[in-house]
């Protein structure tokens, strides 16, 4: 029950006259507590005065950071205010790394959280993804446990582009590697370092030991704790224990779930074929089920209970060692976007290159419903009748390449308006990749038309498979958005390979520091492919090819070569389709790469 300040002042005056000043100070403390809690109405929890005067500026000399970690938490009458640069204040892993090619950089973190959170959902609202924030740690680093990785029913997967219905988990398995470090964190293409799970070295800095430690705030204003809590949620005198989620691994996969990885189409290692690589339970988010009472926490990995900061009790979220690692949903009100929770940002509202709806990449929280321009497929607008692009492999090592194309479209209801042709590698800017674009307008007042265009692939473009996406629009803004899978379904070319190697020549003036064998391009191939390799000193090198039975089928090189990056071709026209192993042998070095010949 709240007591009016006038009544408290009268009581103070009375007790000062009757008893003296000692009681006055006790009553002043009561009034202060009343003022704090009177800011929030009865159905709300109050977080007023908890970590609202905190700031730090510390230089992080980690070789992957070398920048100041700056953050502050303040408040006004109604809101908690976070300002920071998103730079971690602890040791991190090596970035960039082979599985995460992004560099940590400063961010502009300015978030507002209510001081009076309240529960509005019994089961929680799904939030998160690159376009939003589910929570921020004390050091202004974002929590976001999900990934943009997806697989389709056939086992064709992408770590970046986000096609297919099966969501790949970042943690808890060894099938896919997102380049996470010891803090279960990695880096977005924007340079944003973010946690997928337990921020181990942040906990060390906060001196957690085996105590209940507040590590951040969720977008709905409720606090976030890590790992430990009281055995009895409502009794702070009970033993502190590692709290367990109530999610468990299913005994079998859902109907239609792929059990074998066939192709990795986007992200690090994209373009490679992996036959017979199993996809065990635990790889996908859908492999887990919530069982009420199975553990200590609810479906949003939280519970109501007392904490050191909230002895009267509050709802709080937990970071756990097991799935879901961190909440995938919020139970409190985060309407209005004050906490940045889970919205889909339009590309007109963000700087160029930032992840957004309209960048041609379907990933993160984007779906056909909330971002049809990136994710919708099928013929909601004009129909693509024909498409040809006049290259399947280009070399941009010396100059840019202009590739011509022709597309034909029709609309049964309206006049054609315009089109966009995009080439996308590694999932586009959202996931560390790139996007090239060619646009044009159809001739006016035509319902059927063919149009020719050219797309420029700049000199030195990233090697690998650039997937094609075509977007068609009519004059009433009806849109048809055709991704690489849709184009393939219509038997249209759906990618271009950029291969910047020059066969049998030294293509780099930079001397490599070590021997290495690179993946052949293209792969899969038919019937020719090129194999590049690095040699740090003049050496005798043998490049040979073996079939799946271990039989040597070709010796491509067996000679002394100068230091540098070299390349040799392989014409497999006389070999049957199948898996082959390319071996590089030189002095004390040996390495294999797997290639697939498809005829």
Asked if the structure places residue 166 within a domain, the reply is yes
| Same domain for 572 and 545 | yes
Asked if the structure places residue 292 within a domain, the reply is yes
Measuring CA to CA, how many Å separate 252 from each of 249, 260, 289, 295?
A: 9, 14, 11, 20
Asked if the structure places residue 510 within a domain, the reply is no
| Same domain for 295 and 185 | yes
Q: CA-CA distance, 383 to 473, in Å (whole number)?
A: 10
| Same domain for 278 and 152 | yes
Residue 99 and residue 89 in contact, taking contact as beta carbons nearer than 8 Å: no
Q: Which tokens hold the place of 167?
A: 């969501």
Write out pLDDT tens, residues 370-403. Answer: 566 666 554 468 999 988 887 778 888 877 788 8
CA 164, 169, 170, 173 torsion: positive or negative?
A: negative
Query: Has residue 87 got a pLDDT over 50?
Result: yes
What CATH number did the domain enclosing 573 receive? 2.60.40.1930
| Same domain for 235 and 117 | yes
Q: CA-CA distance, 360 to 421, in Å (whole number)?
A: 10
Residue for token digits 């920071």? Answer: 84
Residue 502 and residue 529 in contact, taking contact as beta carbons nearer than 8 Å: no
Asked which of 468, 498, 528 is the last residue of a domain, the reply is 498
Asked if the structure places residue 44 within a domain, the reply is no
Residue for token digits 């502050």? Answer: 72
Q: CA-CA distance, 185 to 183, in Å (whole number)?
A: 5
Decide which of 295 and 3 is more confident: 295
Query: Has residue 16 got a pLDDT over 50?
Result: no
pLDDT score recorded for residue 598 = 83
Mean pLDDT along residues 21-40: 47
Mean pLDDT along residues 425-439: 70
Residue for token digits 């977005």? Answer: 188
273 pLDDT band, cuts 50/70/90, is low
Q: CA-CA distance, 173 to 166, in Å (whole number)?
A: 15
Asked if the structure places residue 392 within a domain, the reply is yes
Residue 149 and residue 178 in contact, taking contact as beta carbons nearer than 8 Å: yes
Residue 139, Cβ density class (10 Å: 0-12 exposed, 13-18 middle, ≥19 buried)? buried
Identify any residues that bridge with 589 across adjacent strands, giving them in sequence order. Answer: 586
Q: Which tokens hold the place of 545?
A: 């090819």
Asked if the structure places residue 344 within a domain, the reply is no
What's the angle, vertex CA 501, arms to CA 573 and CA 521, rounded to 5?
Answer: 45
Residue for token digits 């070709």? Answer: 554
Identify any residues that bridge with 387 across adjacent strands, giving them in sequence order. Answer: 407
Q: What percent of the chain has pLDDT over 70?
A: 79
Mean pLDDT along residues 512-535: 82
Asked if the structure places residue 482 within a domain, the reply is yes
Number of domains in the chain: 4
Residue 172, Cβ density class (10 Å: 0-12 exposed, 13-18 middle, ≥19 buried)? middle
Residue 426 and residue 266 in contact, taking contact as beta carbons nearer than 8 Å: yes
Mean pLDDT along residues 80-87: 93
Query: Has residue 319 got a pLDDT over 50?
Result: yes
340 pLDDT band, cuts 50/70/90, is very low
What's the angle, vertex CA 508, arms to CA 505 and CA 513, rounded to 5?
Answer: 115
Asked if the structure places residue 581 within a domain, the reply is yes
What CATH number did the domain enclosing 478 receive? 2.60.40.3880
Range of the domain at 11: 5-37
Asked which of 498, 527, 561 is the last residue of a domain, the reply is 498
Q: Residue 387: CB partners within 8 Å, gap ≥ 6?
A: 405, 406, 407, 408, 470, 487, 490, 492, 493
Q: CA-CA distance, 507 to 514, in Å (whole number)?
A: 16
| Same domain for 104 and 158 | yes
Backbone angles phi, psi at 544, to 5 degrees: -135, 165
Q: What percent of the chain has pLDDT over 90?
A: 38
Backbone angles phi, psi at 271, to 5 degrees: 85, 0
Q: Would strands 448-457 and 288-290 be described as parallel, antiparallel, or unpaired?
A: unpaired
Q: What is the pTM of this model?
A: 0.55
Closest listed residue to residue 568, CA positions, set 509, 495, 507? 507
Write out pLDDT tens, residues 218-242. Answer: 999 999 999 999 999 999 999 999 9
| Same domain for 171 and 24 | no
Asked which of 498, 528, 558 is the last residue of a domain, the reply is 498
| Same domain for 590 and 525 | yes
Q: CA-CA distance, 345 to 359, in Å (whole number)?
A: 11
- Cis ω on the peptide bond leading into residue 161 (within 30° of 0)? no
Q: CA-CA distance, 246 to 296, in Å (whole number)?
A: 6
Residue 155 and residue 276 in contact, taking contact as beta carbons nearer than 8 Å: no
DSSP 141: P
| Same domain for 420 and 308 | no
| Same domain for 590 and 530 | yes
Decide which of 50 and 588 is more confident: 50
| Same domain for 540 and 436 | no
Residue for token digits 């790889």? Answer: 283
Q: CA-CA distance, 445 to 121, in Å (whole number)?
A: 51
Q: CA-CA distance, 265 to 281, in Å (whole number)?
A: 21
Query: Has residue 1 got a pLDDT over 50?
Result: no
Query: Has residue 359 got a pLDDT over 70?
Result: no
Query: Has residue 362 got a pLDDT over 80?
Result: no
Decide which of 483 and 589 is more confident: 589
| Same domain for 59 and 33 | no
Measuring CA to CA, how many Å separate 98 from each of 101, 178, 183, 186, 368?
A: 6, 9, 17, 12, 31
Decide which of 532 and 91 is more confident: 91
Q: CA-CA distance, 59 to 44, in Å (whole number)?
A: 38
| Same domain for 542 and 493 | no
pLDDT score recorded for residue 15 = 40
Residue 452 and residue 405 in contact, taking contact as beta carbons nearer than 8 Å: yes
- Cis ω on the peptide bond leading into residue 346 (within 30° of 0)? no
């Amino acid at each position: 029950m709240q007591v009016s300040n006038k009544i408290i002042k009268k009581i103070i005056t009375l007790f000062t006259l009757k008893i003296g000043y000692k009681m006055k100070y006790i009553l002043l403390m009561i009034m202060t507590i009343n003022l704090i809690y009177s800011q929030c109405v009865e159905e709300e929890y109050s977080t007023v005065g908890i970590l609202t005067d905190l700031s730090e500026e510390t230089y992080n000399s980690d070789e992957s950071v070398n920048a100041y970690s700056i953050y502050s938490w303040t408040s006004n009458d109604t809101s908690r205010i976070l300002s920071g640069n998103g730079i971690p204040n602890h040791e991190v892993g090596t970035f960039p790394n082979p599985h995460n090619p992004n560099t940590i950089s400063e961010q502009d973190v300015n978030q507002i959280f209510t001081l009076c959170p309240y529960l509005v959902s019994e089961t929680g609202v799904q939030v998160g993804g690159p376009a939003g924030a589910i929570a921020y740690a004390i050091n202004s680093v974002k929590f976001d446990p999900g990934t943009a990785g997806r697989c389709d029913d056939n086992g064709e997967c992408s770590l970046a582009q986000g096609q297919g219905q099966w969501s790949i988990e970042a943690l808890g398995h060894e099938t896919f590697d997102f380049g996470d470090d010891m803090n279960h964190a990695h880096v977005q293409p924007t340079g944003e370092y973010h946690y997928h799970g337990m921020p181990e070295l942040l906990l060390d800095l906060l001196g957690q030991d085996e105590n209940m430690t507040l590590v951040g705030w969720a977008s709905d204003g409720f606090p976030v704790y890590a790992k430990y809590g009281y055995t009895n949620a409502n009794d702070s005198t009970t033993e502190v224990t590692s709290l367990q989620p109530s999610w468990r691994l299913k005994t079998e996969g859902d109907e239609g779930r792929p059990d074998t990885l066939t192709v990795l189409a986007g992200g690090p290692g994209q373009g490679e074929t992996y036959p017979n690589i199993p996809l065990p339970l635990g790889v996908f988010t859908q492999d887990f089920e919530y069982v009420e009472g199975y553990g200590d926490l609810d479906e949003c990995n939280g519970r109501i209970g007392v904490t050191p900061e909230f002895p009267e009790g509050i709802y709080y979220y937990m970071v756990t060692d097991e799935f879901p690692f961190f909440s995938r949903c919020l139970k409190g009100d985060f309407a209005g976007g004050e906490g940045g929770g889970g919205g889909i940002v339009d590309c007109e509202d963000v700087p160029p290159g930032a992840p957004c709806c309209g960048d041609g990449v379907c990933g993160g929280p984007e779906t056909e419903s909330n971002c049809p321009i990136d994710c919708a497929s099928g013929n909601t607008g004009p129909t693509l009748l024909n498409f040809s692009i006049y290259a399947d492999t280009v070399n941009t090592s010396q100059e840019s390449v202009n590739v011509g194309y022709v597309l034909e479209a029709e609309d049964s209801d309206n006049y054609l308006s315009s089109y966009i042709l995009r080439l996308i590698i590694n999932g586009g800017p959202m996931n560390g990749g790139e996007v090239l674009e060619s646009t044009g307008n159809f001739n006016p007042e035509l319902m059927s038309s063919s149009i020719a265009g050219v797309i420029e692939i700049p000199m030195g473009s990233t090697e690998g498979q650039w997937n094609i996406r075509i977007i068609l629009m009519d004059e009433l803004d009806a849109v048809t958005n055709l991704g690489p899978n849709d184009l393939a379904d219509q038997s249209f070319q759906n990618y271009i390979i950029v291969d910047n190697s020059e066969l049998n020549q030294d293509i780099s003036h930079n001397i490599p520091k070590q021997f290495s064998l690179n993946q052949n391009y293209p792969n899969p191939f038919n019937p020719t492919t090129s194999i590049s390799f690095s040699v740090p000193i003049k050496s005798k090198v043998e490049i040979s090819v073996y079939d799946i039975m271990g039989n040597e089928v070709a010796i491509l090189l067996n000679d002394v070569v100068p230091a540098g990056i070299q390349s040799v071709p392989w014409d497999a026209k006389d070999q049957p389709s199948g898996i082959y192993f390319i071996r590089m042998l030189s002095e004390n070095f040996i390495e294999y790469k797997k290639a697939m010949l498809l005829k």
